[in-house]
C-alpha cells in the first residue's frame, strides 16, 4: 500500500516539475503515510531528500537542514542521498555532529 500511494504521488512528474508547492505537498503526504505505517526507509528518505532540495532552492536553509538531518539519520551510508545530505549540512555548518 505504501508503494502504491507513494508511486502515485511521485509519478506526477509533469506536475511536480512545474509546481513546487504541489510537489512539496505530495512529499509531505508520503512522509506522513510512511510514519503512519512505520516504514521509515526507502520512499520516506527519498521524500525527505526531495523536500530538502525544494526548500534549499527556496533559500530556506533551516528547513533544508532539518530534512537533510533526517536523511543522514535514516539513509544508508553508501547512498547518494546520504552523501548529498552530509555535504549540504557540512557546507551550511549544521551544528549536529555527523
Is the pLDDT reported for residue 10 higher than 70? no
Are 47 and 30 a contacting pair, CB within 8 Å? yes
Write out the E strands in 10-98. Answer: none
Any idea where the domains of the chain sit in the sequence?
2-91
**Please, which pLDDT band fits residue 15 given cuts at 50, 70 and 90?**
low
- Burial 58-96, CB ≥16 within 10 A → b, else e: eeeeeebbebbbbbbebbeeeeebbebbbebbeeeebee
Tens digits of per-residue pLDDT, 19-42? Answer: 888 999 999 999 999 999 998 888
Kindly state the average pLDDT of the residues 58-87: 94
> How far apart, in whole angstroms, are the C-alpha atoms of residue 40 and residue 53?
19
Q: Confidence class of residue 7 from pLDDT cuts 50, 70 and 90?
A: low
**Mean pLDDT of all residues in 64-90:** 95
Please tell me the CATH code under which domain 2-91 is placed. 1.25.40
Amino acid at each position: 500500500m505504501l508503494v502504491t500511494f507513494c508511486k502515485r504521488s511521485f509519478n506526477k512528474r509533469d506536475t511536480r516539475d512545474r509546481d513546487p508547492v504541489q510537489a512539496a505537498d505530495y512529499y509531505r503526504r508520503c512522509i506522513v503515510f510512511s510514519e503512519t505505517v512505520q516504514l521509515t526507509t526507502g520512499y520516506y528518505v527519498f521524500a525527505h531528500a526531495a523536500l530538502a532540495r525544494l526548500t534549499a532552492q527556496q533559500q530556506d536553509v533551516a528547513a533544508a537542514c532539518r530534512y537533510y538531518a533526517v536523511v543522514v539519520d535514516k539513509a544508508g551510508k553508501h547512498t547518494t542521498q546520504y552523501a548529498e545530505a552530509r555535504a549540504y549540512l557540512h557546507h551550511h555548518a549544521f551544528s549536529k555532529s555527523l
